[in-house]
Structure 1
Amino acid sequence: MELFPPREADENGFTLIEMMVVLSVFTVIMAAGLTKMERIPSVLEREFFISELKADLYYAQSYAVSRKETVYIKFYSASDQYRAYRIRDNKVLFDKKLPDSVDLLDSNLQSFMISGDGDISKFGTLNFSVYQKVVHMKIFIGKGRFVVQ
């Protein structure tokens, strides 16, 4: 009695070469998909930065409207930070340093004012680099609308 009887020629199964070909094709498809994915932490940090900047601008606008005061917002590209001041007495409402992965690029808008009725004094675009991906924030004149792209 043999432990491993010889295989018959008509048995159904896959050869080693067939298995290797299928595994190679599967590996190539998986590798192609992984090269296009961004790192998850970079995406999360970019989204967190954008939401925090929006929240700060909405806060400055609501502060100006609720107190009927003008608020001045200034972006400093040299130190990668932004501040909001109350015009009346230069009281700082907030002073935020950009995260290490975020850089303020050359923009056509370095500062603007939000009046007591919520209007913004200047329009333009703020450009940021977040993990080497450029994010544009367009500020529209008038009722304080802005869009992030």
Structure 2
Amino acid sequence: MKIDLFHAYTEKGYTLIEILVVVSLLSILLLIAVPQLKQENVFEEVEGFFTTLEKDLYNAQMKAITDGAAVFFIFDPIDHSYTIRQGLTTIEKRQFPIGLELRGTSLGYSNLRFLASGNIRQSGTFTFLYEEHLFRLVFVFMRGRFYIEGL
């Protein structure tokens, strides 16, 4: 009985070593890519928070004008949240994203209010810190206008 050694090793397919090399290369690429994607998602959450804050400010201003009564924004740096109130009624309470801190304010934490005219009682700023990024919420003098800037 004669064994043909040439044809015994010509079957098509991949060896175990080739598969292990490919799998190890893919796992190295995933180890590099996944932390980058997580960091971008977290920063998108902070941007989403500021978008929501901006919408809440506009809605509070419109509610003050529509109802003819002041609407208060109360920031709580310890609870990492803000509450929107009209009189004794809580309209909304929202939490800050994890890692976002309210670092300072020239208005005080509970002095932001929209009057029945839609104006604010006084101008000022709120400063937020996320990792090494600073954000400032600025209220322009007495008109109820505001903007959020990244520093």
Same fold flag (TM > 0.5): yes
Larger CA deviation: 42-51 vs 54-63: 42-51
TM-score normalised according to structure 1 size: 0.68
Residue number in structure 1 paired with 2:53: 53
Residues 1-149 of structure 1 correspond to what in structure 2 (within 5 A)? 39-87=39-87, 90-109=88-107, 110=109, 111-149=111-149
SS of alignment partner, residue 121 of structure 2? coil
SS of alignment partner, residue 120 of structure 2? coil
Runs of 4+ in structure 1 deviating by more than 3 angstroms, as ranges, are none
Q: Call closer, same or farther: CA 1:131–1:42 in 2, change over 3 Å.
A: farther
Q: How far is the alpha carbon of 1:141 from its aligned partner?
A: 3.0
Q: Specify every segment of 5 or more residues in structure 1 that has no aligned partner in the other structure, as ranges.
A: 1-38
TM-score normalised according to structure 2 size: 0.67
CA contact (8 A) 1:83 1:96 kept: yes
CA distance in 2, matches of 1:128, 1:76: 12
Number of residues of Structure 1 aligned to a counterpart in Structure 2: 110
CA distance in 2, matches of 1:108, 1:147: 15
CA contact (8 A) 2:46 2:97 kept: no
SS of alignment partner, residue 104 of structure 2? coil
CA contact (8 A) 1:75 1:83 kept: yes
Q: Specify every segment of 5 or more residues in structure 2 that has no aligned partner in the other structure, as ranges.
A: 1-38
Give, as a single letter, the amino acid of the residue that structure 2 aligns with 1:51: T
CA distance in 1, matches of 2:127, 2:101: 9
CA distance in 2, matches of 1:103, 1:135: 10
CA contact (8 A) 1:119 1:141 kept: no
SS of alignment partner, residue 69 of structure 1? coil
